[in-house]
Amino acid sequence: MGSFSLFHYLIVLVVLALLMAPYMLPGILALARKHPRKGAIIALNFFLGWSVLGWFGALVWALTTPNETAA
């Protein structure tokens, strides 16, 4: 009655992944775009993403194109 099968654990993992995807969207975008500061973007998103300002800051940073001519 109270035991979970492997199928139930798999369902829980899939639901958690679907719930975490929007939260981690800035980090996912930084990885997909091969942003040179992807580690910092992921850290900002992970630690400050719960605040709306931190999430939007990480999103804007992930969507910026770094200036390659800077010395």
Q: Identify whether 34 is part of a domain.
A: yes
Q: Per residue in 61-70, pLDDT tens?
A: 999 987 766 5
Domain that holds residue 44: 23-66
Q: Structure pTM?
A: 0.76
Buried b (16+ CB within 10 A) or exposed e, 28-41: bbbeeeebeebeeb
Residue 5 is assigned to a structural domain of this protein: no
Query: How many domains are contained in the chain?
Result: 1
Q: Does pLDDT of 1 surpass 80? A: no
**Is residue 71 assigned to a domain?**
no
Residue 11 within any structural domain of the chain: no
Does any domain span residue 59? yes
- The stretch 16-22 carries a mean pLDDT of 94
